[in-house]
Amino acid sequence: MIPGRATPEGTDAYRRRRAETAPEHFRSFGGSWLSSVGIGTYLGGEDTATDDQYRDAVIRALELGINVVDTAVNYRHQRSERAIGQALSALIGKGALRREEVVVATKGGFIPFDGAMPRNPGAYFTETYLRPGVIGPDDVVAGCHCMTPRYLADQLERSRRNLGLETLDIYYVHNPETQLGEVDRPEFLKRIHRVFDFLESAVRDDKIGCYGTATWNGYRQPATAGDYLSLAELEKVARNVAGAQHHFRVVQLPYNLAMSEAFTRANQSIDGDTVSLFEAARRLGIYVMVSASIYQGQLARNLPPILAEHLRGLATDAQRAIQFVRSTPGVGTALVGMKRIAHVEENAALAKLAPVAWSEFQKLFKEA
């Protein structure tokens, strides 16, 4: 496996080599520099052709100034991780990239198959997870989710092997709010405590650089919702586990023109105030990765013409949708699923542009 992890020096060297990019394209995170656009690897078939597309797309993204790569062990039955591993191995092997220059994030929580849907999923689950004791009979919720330390330890090792990396820069607990469908909040927080304790040990063992939570609904919901997540509450658990120097440093959630709750909904209580998720993350020093920037392609076309008037110099609706996201105060990196070279080149063109200034963004947001 390839040793090392993203470092301040490595990511700064990567940033400096991309002299054509706008200074604002790279954002600071723990001393490292992360691109404002990252490549995601969620959608697509479980086949060799899609594997090749993702491998080539990741290579092209890293060539064009995108140094954040996002995946999950369950994406395409582990095939997305493996395609990323091939891309990194190819670039690092020929000296075109150093491991220290790229930030790789993955997730664990949903139970993945291996390469394809098995003929007998129940038998696969029993032989892979139940019989070896990786998962206990009562560990699974919603028929698909598990976040015990024993299970996540297994998943972390699978991800390290798939990606071919000794150390993963960011490891997310994937949609932990899924647990709240079957356990009460006190039990949920006990489970989070055990998970964070395990992840802190993974940091000490140099298997991950830091950890976080990648969610869909949890951080966007009203505080009264059953699957609502409080960022301050989870950060407090991390402090209880490891003190002020804990490594709960990143969150991921959807945000786009159609799903603006992370910016507009005041649902997070912190310091006696009720604020948005983005503001809560800022106060807690937690970096925000945004998923679904173009809403799985739905915002890549047919946007209101008024957006083109406000976002001059952009050729496509996909670029406009991403520019809206990366210009939002509080957003660190806007993740975009990309498996075609043409889409990578289209979206990476934003690296040459500064985000929209706040005075203009306010007008843009009213129109959006």
Does residue 122 register a pLDDT over 80?
Answer: yes
User: Which letter, b or e, does each residue of 308-321 get, where b requires 16 or more Cβ atoms within 10 Å of its Cβ?
Assistant: eebbeebebbbbbb
Residue 97 in any domain: the answer is: yes
Domain that holds residue 284: 8-367
The pLDDT, as a whole number, for residue 311 is 82
Token pair, residue 111, equals 């139970």
Interacting residues of 24 by C-beta distance below 8 A, sequence separation 6+: 36, 354, 355
Give the mean pLDDT of 364-368.
69
List pLDDT tens digits, range 282-292: 999 999 999 99
The pLDDT, as a whole number, for residue 368 is 63
Q: Structural domain tally of the chain?
A: 1
Residue 2 in any domain: the answer is: no
What's the whole-model pTM score?
0.97
The pLDDT, as a whole number, for residue 360 is 84
Confidence of residue 304 (pLDDT cuts 50, 70, 90): confident
Token pair, residue 221, equals 């919901």
Confidence of residue 305 (pLDDT cuts 50, 70, 90): confident
Residue 1 in any domain: the answer is: no
Residue 112 in any domain: the answer is: yes
List pLDDT tens digits, range 219-262: 999 999 999 999 999 999 999 999 999 999 999 999 999 999 99
- CATH number at 87 reads 3.20.20.100
Residue 3 in any domain: the answer is: no
Residue 23 in any domain: the answer is: yes
In a 3-state reduction of DSSP, which class is residue 15? Answer: helix
Phi, psi of 351 (to 5 degrees): -60, -25
Does residue 94 register a pLDDT over 70?
Answer: yes
Residue 141 in any domain: the answer is: yes
pLDDT above 70 as % of the chain: 99
Confidence of residue 367 (pLDDT cuts 50, 70, 90): low
Residue 70 in any domain: the answer is: yes
